[in-house]
Chain A
């Protein structure tokens, strides 16, 4: 989600809450002879408020499970998730008097910090990466379809080269047609460089992964081939470009969503342990 001017209301509200909480905490800390305590009424109030913020933030996952339920627009939930989740950190710090406490509370504090930081990292990624993807991957496809598209590209390239060079039995080179002098450079280049690149074999030419270097390679190939084969070279070049973009999309996609592998389980653990902490604190 882009953090833009439309977040102003949430930002202001969060700042006000934060300011008020800070003021209360400062007054409370200054007026308590024994120092602030999480078990005091104000300390508990901070704890409850922080926990409610965390619970609301955590409920976003549940909200996503019922996308068509009219429980408020998903983007409102997402904004709440971002800002209230962020707000939970100072509230819990106020609740814990900026100390980690015992083993459980220490774990909770670490978890909270990691969750909030990973959340900020994720929010930053989701703010900056979509425009980058839009610009750098014009041939973007649906992520789940990438393998299929890649297989199609390979088949298309095979067919194109075979139409010029004759059947190239890639599994059994012994039965492959021997290319004519005209097509030999294309045939060799395709076998040696392009196909391993498209096939993602281990022995692939790393230069094809780089658009500028690849352009140079293809330009060199053109000088070895008659003009009638230049269209095929151009198409191969385009296919390699699409392959590069698909690889980039995969990489970006992992970045864009990979942080959730950390954020979501830790958030769940935080909520569960938070419940345990609340029960233990109230019980004992």
Chain B
């Protein structure tokens, strides 16, 4: 049976159908049938150790619903008398060892075990408690441990190892002496615990509780309103979230009210919060001029300097410029290039990338009507997104509103029909990956095609000499097509660089798409061939150039270097002056940098093979041309992140005076300064870069390093680099 097919079964007399592979517990949850549990948490892998979730499926023994997958025709009874009795006994046994009320019950009144005991009306326990008690561990500065309240559900262990990958917590002992332990049973404060709090948030009882050393708090403004713990606990998307966590983080979420016209967040600004719209409508837009920086190719007067201007696409259609009509932003929709405005309404979450990965805001959001929204810090957003119900709601919103434009924004998918996308809508999977997590691995069998929805994905290949980065992919870009088209294994490893969300299209759907739309297949094959060719060239270049020390300095990462022959250069700075004259008086090169033999590698854009500048661009405006040349697209919002990311300081921010609309005053404009990122554009208006052209001593050269230095080394030039 394929993973996508549906299975019909009966739960408590109701006929339901769920995708194959779903557990009984999840099938019941989807259909609003509650099954009590202690050891199972939605964001963790189920293990079935507490057995509280047992159900009757007509077999010899009751089965743990959290781990048992559904089967066709299965008849499940979640509330049979025998099941109820077994559950009652289990809870009673657990309560016999539980120090009631435990610390969590005292702090936030939401100990899950005690809540279940109340539901089962267990007031007196018939069984004797454990004879030996392990007692508390108060060694940690931030987390209080009470081993006696531990029910060995393993939620803390899975949180520590599977979610945070800290691997500090584990089990120790056997039988009645089994317990959780930090490292080799060290006191928590002396263990390698990093106090991330994941165990505490995962714990259903008072075994791990916070000491309230410090509280996360969001900056308060006059329009913000605190949300009480009780109020938070009643919100559907905080259902099942540990009261300890909510108590600790209750100040990390505020309700904010915005008047019509008020700015909720502004493009380019750095922030650390996300917004969840509760009421009202807000307009999301990009105010940055849809234009790129261009050096004017004519001079007004004899002594005049060339100047950089903002030029729109209609006036200057650059060669190989993207035909993209959509701008990807940090919201559930994309913006049209021609009219970069969209509306946000109740239920929309925006600012995820800013909140999770601290990227600049990608667009300005302004209240169109009176709006109310939750503003939250990362830890709250993170916990919200772990809630499957909330995720499902967000995902559904994405499927209905954004998948269509997202797919069409990718040029190769432009010809997909509405009917096909409608069919695809419910079948695609929306997956999330944490920083460093591998999405697909080189050499693995290919079973999916991926479209990047949020974040940045690193594509790399492993070779004998180490890892080679092939590309960074951001929202709107895709991967995994080559192996599917060629029916072969993955040729590269794709890893999440930050908080990444992807749309996964199964191999079957991908095959169906390429069958129905031969044009899409052709385009994908074309792109695939270009990628393979590019990767091959890079590999050949690296393997054929015996430049160990050269590689260490990252020069082979470059595709175009500005070199100054120091044996010919008289240090007259004509190159710098020419560059400044060509770019509004601001030079884009500095006559300083690494030396290789008698060459100076000047500080000027190198068109890197591994362009770190592209990582993090909130609107994806810095990209490669097909020639690998780095280009900054029209919709750059001037946040400056690329300039910060460039390890060589080769990107500058250039200020321009522009006129923008005055909010609420139609027809009125005001002057303001907008920044646009600029880097060496190789003076593309001219046949030769100005720095090279203006060098009177034939010392400045723009070269392809792969050929230039290879030839130089073959001639026996220097083997050391100096900085």
Contacts and interface: CB of A to CB of B under 8 A. Distances in A.
Interface of A: 1-2, 6, 60, 64-70, 73-75, 77-78, 126, 129-131, 133-134, 138, 141-143, 253, 256-257
A60 B598 contact: no
Nearest to B698: A75
Given A74-B694, A131-B598, A1 B566 contact: no
A68 B302 CA distance: 12
A2 B568 CA distance: 6
Contact of A6 (B569, B598, B686, B698): B698
B492 interface: no
Contact of B578 (A1, A68, A138): A68
A1 B693 CA distance: 15
B97 interface: no
A77 B303 contact: no
24 contacts: A1-B568, A1-B696, A1-B698, A2-B567, A2-B568, A64-B696, A66-B581, A67-B574, A67-B581, A67-B694, A68-B305, A68-B306, A68-B582, A68-B686, A73-B693, A74-B694, A74-B696, A129-B570, A131-B566, A134-B566, A138-B722, A143-B571, A257-B570, A257-B572
Interface string B572-603: 10100110011000000011100100100000
Given A133-B566, A134-B598, A70 B696 contact: no
Given A256-B571, A257-B570, 5 more contacts: A1-B568, A67-B581, A68-B306, A74-B695, A78-B696
A138 B595 contact: yes
B598 A78 contact: no
B592 A74 contact: no
B582 A78 contact: no
A280 B646 CA distance: 62
A134 B305 CA distance: 32
B595 A75 contact: no
Contacts, number: 84
A253 B571 contact: yes
B570 A130 contact: yes
B567 A134 contact: yes
Contacts of A6: 698
B551 to A, nearest CB: 21
B202 interface: no
A70 B693 contact: yes
Interface in B453-495: none
Closest 3 CB pairs of A and B: A67-B694, A67-B578, A78-B696
A143 B581 CA distance: 20
B299 interface: yes
B570 A126 contact: yes
Interface residues of B, number: 34
Nearest to B306: A68
A1 B567 CA distance: 9
Contacts of B695: 74-75
A1 B698 CA distance: 7
Contact of B591 (A77, A129, A130, A142): A142
B251 interface: no
Given A131-B567, A253-B571, A126 B697 contact: yes
B78 interface: no
A256 B572 CA distance: 9
Contacts of A126: 570, 697
Contacts of A1: 568, 570, 696-698
Most B-side CB within 10 Å, residue of A77, A130, A253: A130
Nearest to B572: A257
Contacts of B567: 2, 130-131, 134
Contacts of B571: 130, 133, 143, 253, 256
B267 to A, nearest CB: 33
B690 interface: yes
Contacts of B302: 66
Nearest to A256: B570
B684 to A, nearest CB: 13
Interface string B675-716: 000000001001110100111111000000000000000000
Contacts of A67: 574, 577-578, 581-582, 690, 693-694
A253 B573 CA distance: 12
B304 to A, nearest CB: 9
Contacts of A134: 566-567, 598
A68 B566 contact: no
A29 B171 CA distance: 112
Contact of A130 (B299, B566, B694): B566
Contacts of B570: 1, 126, 129-130, 256-257
Contacts of B693: 67-68, 70, 73-74
Given A74-B694, A74-B696, A75-B697, A130 B582 contact: no
A142 B593 CA distance: 10
Contacts of A60: 696
Nearest to A128: B567
Contacts of A133: 566, 571
